[in-house]
Amino acid sequence: MILEIDEKITRAADLISRASSITVLTGAGISEESGIPTYRGEGGLWRDYRAEDLATPEAFQNDPKLVWEWYEWRRGIVKEAKPNYAHYALAELEGHNPNFNLITQNIDGLHKLAGSKNIIELHGNIWQTRCTRCAIIEQNLDVPLKELPPRCNNCGAIVRPNIVWFGEVIPMPLIDKALIAIEQCEVMLIVGTSGVVEPAASMGLVAKQTGKIVIEVNLEPTINTNFYDLTILGKSGEILPLICKSGEAYSYLL
């Protein structure tokens, strides 16, 4: 049965409003309307490098300054960015649901700025550094950075972004936390992710296999779309306030 977009929105809103527990997974697409380029979109390119060429331990080992220059560029963009209606809609949804978890692949911190609380940042945070020698994690909000590459305040060694790069593994406790959140939810909402980077890419499939209702919001179909219960094509900043509506959520649209 092919549903019109209005019917899909009504159905999703109904499923979400009746769910006793909700887990959300977000990707770069949710921050696109805040002006942060997605990784695989055209705006994600920097000096002709792809993210996949720079966000690796090998790239950092070869040229830490180059990798930090790229992060400095990204940090400049993120610093200017504000949460959009999609981030706010999720924060408000959490306010109405005691059993709510938000898993994000994003490193931009915009969910927290919007007021979300129960956040699992799978890939780290762009405002944190981790020392390559003593492993201390520090917050660093400098844009521009005082030195490139920046150094550890504790031991003076070079620090790296506290981000999970390609070829690295997400710390197991974080994956466990995400899987428990999926196991405990009734409805899973997946927003703005292409579904090509593991393990997040498989999380919606895990939810489906364990009997959850999975709703996807994306600009275009993804490789997992056919497995989900409902996919709504459109901008998350427009769709989420409608499907997460619970009275005040409408205030965004007035």
What positions carry a catalytic annotation? 123
Question: Residue 205: CB partners within 8 Å, gap ≥ 6?
Answer: 224, 227
Residue 166 CB, shortest distance to ligand NAD, in Å, is 7
Alpha-carbon distance 114 to 41, whole Å? 24
241 binds ligand NAD (CB under 6 A): no
Neighbours of 129 (CB within 10 A): 26
Show contacts with ligand NAD in window 167-206 (CB under 6 A).
192-194, 196-197
Query: What is the rounded distance in angstroms from the CA atom of residue 120 to the CA atom of residue 67?
Result: 25
Residue 57 in tokens: 């331990």
Among 12, 19, 29, 97, binds ligand NAD (CB under 6 A): 29
Residue 76 beta carbon to ligand NAD: minimum distance, rounded to whole angstroms? 15
165 is a site residue for ligand NAD (CB under 6 A): yes
Cis amide prior to 83 (ω within 30 degrees): no
Q: Which stretch binds ligand NAD (CB under 6 A): 39-47, 136-144, 175-183, 243-251?
A: 39-47
**Nearest by Cα to 108 from 118, 92, 122:** 122
Is residue 235 within the footprint of ligand NAD (CB under 6 A)? yes
Binding-site ranges for ligand NAD (CB under 6 A): 27-29, 32-33, 38-41, 51, 55, 105-106, 123, 163, 165, 192-194, 196-197, 217-220, 222, 235-236
